[in-house]
Chains A and B, each alone.
Chain A
């Protein structure tokens, strides 16, 4: 991991890393005995979504919506990763209750470090912002979006970004043939 972009006052409010930035590598726990790295998904697009907390009503809609859209994301071979500062046991209970079929990562210790690195830590709340990143198969941020904290950003922006990435790859694949 390279330097952590952080504002001088330590608030971390630098805004989400913009398109064209190399996505900072991280390794986070998804279960008590399982860790996930961003580089595990190199070679396919990754959807990284930060949300403030498990169990809060708006997040509920958002995590449920993405759960419904897994087949759609799969068409783009995209990996879906949710990140919040909640601990792994909380994530496990939440994912089981909501029947979520994708990993929730725990940005728990040091708290919010990955959110800070991506410019989406929220003080004084001590949670991440509600932010979306679509990362290319080469590990570059293709699209990022910061949503108002109380508004579920939906999925249209994610799907548009995945389509752009797919369109960019197609000509290359044709050339290889």
Chain B
């Protein structure tokens, strides 16, 4: 049963970086208040930088809101920024300020990014993006996400070590295999 196969493939619904036709797709299910996700953030940044066009990166929300009281609001804040075309700027702000994710700080980040803070605030108050966050969460559960962060590489759960060298090796191998398959 639990083989850790992604049930909803990465698509246009997702927030992504890098070319959609890249040979390797890395998907993260994360929680902005989770310290392990915070530790993985610079690793992902380094992977993106080093792998360049080889890597398509996507991020989905998996807030564990009972143990991380600010995680859900932070996820909605990223979506609210996304509605104004600035998802990744907020994503970066949240992961680099994990100890300051209350409403007042979120508003500061929104202003610093240059968002329409009125619209941003309204989105948070009306929980305009709660449905999207919940959808992300449930696709994770149905794909065998068991904690945060959980990574999928080309649709298969990655259970290895979350350091740069280990992840780089697996992604490079998967990319090479998928390239060879494409040539055939």
Interface residues of A (CB under 8 A from B): 61-62, 64-65, 67-69, 72, 98-101, 145, 147, 151-157, 159-160
Contact = CB atoms under 8 A, between A and B. Distances in A.
Contacts of B105: none
Contacts of A68: 64-66, 137
Contact of B67 (A64, A156, A160): A64
Interface residues of B, number: 17
Given A68-B64, A156-B141, A156-B142, 6 more contacts: A62-B146, A64-B67, A99-B67, A151-B159, A154-B4, A157-B2
Contact of A153 (B65, B137, B146): B146
B67 A154 contact: no
A154 B144 contact: yes
A68 B66 CA distance: 7
Contacts of A61: 146-147
A65 B142 contact: no
A153 B66 contact: no
B1 interface: yes
B106 interface: no
B172 to A, nearest CB: 25
B141 A159 contact: yes
Interface in B61-118: 64-67
A43 B179 CA distance: 54
A136 B91 CA distance: 43
Residue among B2, B138, B144 with most chain A CB within 10 A:
B2
A21 to B, nearest CB: 18
Contacts, number: 55
B145 interface: yes
19 contacts: A62-B147, A64-B64, A64-B66, A64-B147, A65-B64, A68-B64, A68-B65, A68-B66, A99-B67, A145-B1, A153-B146, A154-B141, A154-B144, A154-B145, A154-B146, A155-B146, A156-B142, A157-B1, A159-B142
Residue among A62, A64, A159 with most chain B CB within 10 A:
A64
A100 B67 CA distance: 9
Contacts of A64: 64, 66-67, 147
A37 to B, nearest CB: 27
Contacts of B144: 154, 156
B25 interface: no
Interface string B119-148: 000000000000000000110011111110
A61 B146 CA distance: 7
Contacts of B146: 61-62, 65, 151-155
B30 to A, nearest CB: 14
A84 B145 CA distance: 23
B1 A152 contact: no
Contacts of B137: 68
A54 B65 CA distance: 20
